[in-house]
Amino acid sequence: MRVDEAIRYASTKGYRVLDDGSPVSPSGRILKTNMRGGYLYFGVRRYPETTTGVPVHRLMAYQKYGDSALADGIESRHKNGDSTNNSVDNILIGSRSDNCLDIEPERRIAIARNAASYRRSLPDHQVILLREKRAAGATYEELMYEFDISKSTVSFICNRKTYKHIAG
């Protein structure tokens, strides 16, 4: 069952999320949650003998915004960036870009740097060495062959268009 179907199913069966973010059963009992992928989920029994996981934040968004919360390209957002805070005041909907911008700038930069590290041509210590050699008079072509990178990459590193965060 897709997530949007699970949310609609849970809602029609009477499951809901209180304003404080606690999921409750149709009888009003507060449900246990489990963490999956950084988000809180609760189980909804479907017969015969199957349980469907429902993300608490998505059900809260559905309660708050209706079907527009399940539209293509729309994500449920945590305004304060805390994925465990599913209170009504903390849940918004928006685009993927909006969702990313909810992350604190320092954390967002750290995430981007980590992702970029897998695409880097050189480790940090080699960038420092390359800049030192360029300052000592090495040509772009010499550096290109020594570090096995393109001339444009040498230029970008030396002129701090890339690896800006590395001193040296």
Walk me through the domains of the chain, giving residue ranges and CATH numbers: 3-103 (3.90.75.20), 120-158 (no CATH)
What pLDDT, in 10s, does the model give residues 106-162? Answer: 988 888 888 877 777 788 899 999 999 999 999 999 999 999 999 999 999 999 998
Q: Which residue bears the tokens 């970029």?
A: 116
What pLDDT, in 10s, does the model give residues 68-98? Answer: 999 999 999 998 888 999 999 999 999 999 9
* Three-state secondary structure call for residue 94: strand
How far is Cα 99 from Cα 91, in angstroms, rounded to an integer? 11
Look at residue 168 in the predicted model and tell me its pLDDT: 66
Whether 30 contacts 20, CB under 8 Å: no
Phi and psi, residue 59, nearest 5°: -65, -40
Q: Residue 102 gets which letter from DSSP?
A: T
Phi and psi, residue 160, nearest 5°: 60, 35
Whether 36 contacts 18, CB under 8 Å: no
The residue-averaged pLDDT of 98-105 equals 86
Q: Is the pTM of this model over 0.85?
A: no
Q: Which residue bears the tokens 């994925």?
A: 83
Q: How far is CA 34 from CA 42, 46, 135, 147, in A?
A: 6, 18, 55, 48
Count CB atoms within 10 A of the CB of residue 140.
15
How far is Cα 78 from Cα 17, in angstroms, rounded to an integer? 15
Give the pLDDT band (50/70/90) at residue 59. very high
How far is Cα 153 from Cα 158, in angstroms, rounded to an integer? 9
